[in-house]
Structure 1
């Protein structure tokens, strides 16, 4: 049996990385530079969490591929869903970006956040995982 350990989510771990041009969507204005550090991935490839940071700019996101919990550690961002109203988020705010989100992030002050994402796999991967489960149980018996 594999021991389980707590994994600290230390936001200072990304301080050494200067960042690179934002790739989480299409840059509409500014020069947003992002950096992240994935601190945990589960063995099944369905869950991950870590720390992410991005400098000011406006980015359009289309069909976000995850359900994501965000907890802002610093900064200010105005998020506007397509066809919806803008909402401003600041340090201490927590929110969820649902899978399929389309809209804009207007990062007004460099933001840093803890994130936790639920990755969705296709049916083929789900069937494969289900088929492997009985094999794992048989091997461990």
Structure 2
């Protein structure tokens, strides 16, 4: 593991990312494009900068616990069977693992994200086996 600090830059999207059709869920309306720049990506944790243009995307069974801070834009997030909540620049929120609902992106959003990855049962088994093997 490296012993250094990593800077998360909101401008990294403009320099280092190529937008592509959104794949974080099923597009329901519009033609949202997303782009991201990972800053750190390890087995159980990842973070970076992400952006998505206007549109509506339905998410099903989100695989991570994710913390977000909106750097710009506006989005209305509605959990399945729940109440819509609007977020804008400066707002922070958590998307829990298993989240199902919609993201209605009203103005292009850019956010810092941090996700806790949850390895599959197979992934956990592989980690346990690796831990038992001599180095």
TM-score by length of 2: 0.92
Could you tell me how far 1:126 is from its partner in structure 2?
1.6
Provide the rounded CA distance (Å) in 2 between the counterparts of 1:105 and 1:124: 31
**Which deviates more from structure 2 when the two are superposed, residues 116-125 or residues 19-28?**
116-125
Number of residue equivalences: 134
Name stretches of at least 5 consecutive residues in structure 1 with no aligned partner. Answer: none
* 1:1-141 alignment runs, 5 A limit: 2-16=1-15, 17-42=17-42, 45-135=43-133, 139=135
Match of 2:106, SS state, is strand
Provide the rounded CA distance (Å) in 2 between the counterparts of 1:19 and 1:113: 15
Could you tell me how far 1:133 is from its partner in structure 2?
2.8
Provide the rounded CA distance (Å) in 2 between the counterparts of 1:37 and 1:3: 19
Match of 1:11, SS state, is coil
1:5-57 deviation per Cα after TM superposition (whole angstroms, max 9, x unaligned): 00101111110335111111111111111100111012xx1111100000111
Could you tell me how far 1:130 is from its partner in structure 2?
2.6
Could you tell me how far 1:66 is from its partner in structure 2?
0.9
Could you tell me how far 1:3 is from its partner in structure 2?
4.2
**Which deviates more from structure 2 when the two are superposed, residues 120-129 or residues 8-17?**
120-129
**Which deviates more from structure 2 when the two are superposed, residues 120-129 or residues 23-32?**
120-129
Could you tell me how far 1:128 is from its partner in structure 2?
2.5
Name stretches of at least 5 consecutive residues in structure 2 with no aligned partner. Answer: none
Runs of 4+ in 1 over 6 A off after TM superposition: none
Structure 1 residues 78 and 38, CA, compared in 2 at 3 Å: closer, same or farther?
A: same
